[in-house]
Amino acid sequence: MRIAEQMTIFQKLNILTDAAKYDVACTSSGVDRRNDGTGMGNCVKEGICHSFSADGRCISLLKILFTNECIYDCKYCINRASNDVPRASFTPDEVCTLTMEFYRRNYIEGLFLSSGILKSPNDTMELIYATLYKLRTECNFQGYIHVKAIPGASQELIQRVGFLADRMSVNLELPTAESLRMLAPHKNRKNILTPMRLVQNKMQENKQEIVEYRNAPRFVPAGQSTQMIIGATPETDYQIIRVAESLYKKFDLKRVFYSAFVHVNEDLNLPVRTDEGPPLLREHRLYQADWLLRYYGFEARELLSEENPNFNVLLDPKCNWALKHLEAFPVEINRADYDTLLRVPGIGYKSAGRIVKARRMAVLGFEDLKKIGVVLKRALYFITCNGKMMYPTKIEEDYITRNLLDVKEKLPAHIGQMTYKQLSLFDDVNFRMEQFTVTDRRGKTAIEKIVG
């Protein structure tokens, strides 16, 4: 392990932002909080961390590891103990300084803090707690904080952190206990699910306890999330979405994130390296399916099965489902209930709501649907307006599949181009570095300055 003793805060930042890049569980919506006039920072329910840079990094949070030193040896992780990579650790003061300075310059809206396991889970969690405590009480930072709960840390520490953070997450890492044993031998399902349950119970207990100036519950007001690595182990999509479904139901998770496996280590237990790169399209399909579970009333067993355990990467999961259930179509737009409309490819939850509202005033035709935002290129095979289809068309799986495959799907820009080289904060051509001096309560600390 290479640990440089004398590093500037900028050198540490370079290492520890880069080390955090594989963690995708950092969206952070869910808390609306006004500054009370005594501190710095606001939280906005929508808008924080709503955009991602090309490599999946959430651009409006300062996303760092507290340390990339780690006593564990997860096979898939660049920071595992057995890798010879430059190591660095912040101090709580340094994280506070960075957060406050970046916030003042409007570069960030909050902090996403994860960490390797320094000496033990408790030691690490203690340092995270010290950081958050200082940030909230001494620096008076009222912006958004998403922090990782370290599996194996004491319940009391996790609880204390939960009263300071907006969102917490414990990474499930891999979909099954068996995969965890194989690739993350120092972790186990119990260590991961215990803090998840604790956060859930404390959120429930404290949900009535509203902090006045925050207008939000005191404990983890933005809820908890988790992340699973996809493609490092042989689980099918069906297994993965069933795990996600069960986490949503049993642990009240806000989000499950799927992270396409990136080959950064050589290990016999990892899949053979190919030229194909991370399974980004598969990851995208899982996110779409996740959306269907959370907002469209689908169940995992409706989307896939033991016999048909993987999504067709060429079609989005809703189209895939509709093609297997042609007996449910066509749906009459002017009569179908909201839940039925939700299941039509090309109709999103917003359009479904608009249809229900608009048809109270008039009988809707295809032109109206276009204005409402329905994607007719996809929907036309599955709907009628006033008893008529848009064009004479066959309701036949092969025929519709062929036509749907011809419709160019709008995929996220990064799919197909993603290199997984994370932009560091300083790769931005608009930034240049200068030395500057920050005065904190204990005196002066020299760090580099980013100049826009």
Which positions lie near ligand SF4, rule CB under 6 A?
Answer: 70, 72, 74, 77, 79-80, 116-117, 184
Burial of residue 66 (number of CB atoms within 10 Å: 0-12, 13-18, 19+): buried
Question: Which is closer to ligand SF4, CB of 72 or CB of 141?
Answer: 72
For residues 47 and 185, which CB has a smaller minimum distance to ligand SF4 in the complex?
185
* Nearest to ligand SF4 of 172, 280 (CB atom): 172
User: CB of 323: closest distance to ligand SF4 in angstroms?
Assistant: 38
The single-letter code of the amino acid at 435 is Q
CB of 78 to ligand SF4, least distance (A): 7
Q: At residue 405, what is the residue type?
A: L
CA dist 397 and 329 (Å) reads 12
Instruction: State which residue, 41 or 116, has the beta carbon closest to ligand SF4.
Output: 116
Cβ nearer to ligand SF4, comparing 29 with 89? 89
Least distance from C-beta 128 to ligand SF4, angstroms? 13
Beta carbon of residue 133, minimum distance to ligand SF4 (angstroms, whole number):
23
Residue 79 or 99: the one with the smaller Cβ distance to ligand SF4 is 79
- Distance between CA atoms of 440 and 418, rounded to whole angstroms? 40
Nearest distance in Å: CB 269, ligand SF4: 14
Give the residue with the Cβ less far from ligand SF4, 72 or 112.
72
How many Cα atoms occupy the beta-carbon half-sphere of 285 within 13 Å? 23
Question: For residue 229, what are the β-bridge partners?
Answer: 259
> Which residue, 175 or 221, is less far from ligand SF4 as judged by CB?
175
Nearer to ligand SF4, 185 or 234 (CB): 185
Place of tokens 């030395």: 435
**Paired tokens of 202:** 């404390």
Find the helix packing angle between 92-104 and 9-18, rounded to 10°. 90
What is the nearest approach in angstroms of ligand SF4 to the Cβ of residue 422? 16
State the nearest-atom distance from the C-beta of 16 to ligand SF4, in Å: 11
Least Å distance, CB 184 to ligand SF4, is: 6
CB of 79 to ligand SF4, least distance (A): 4
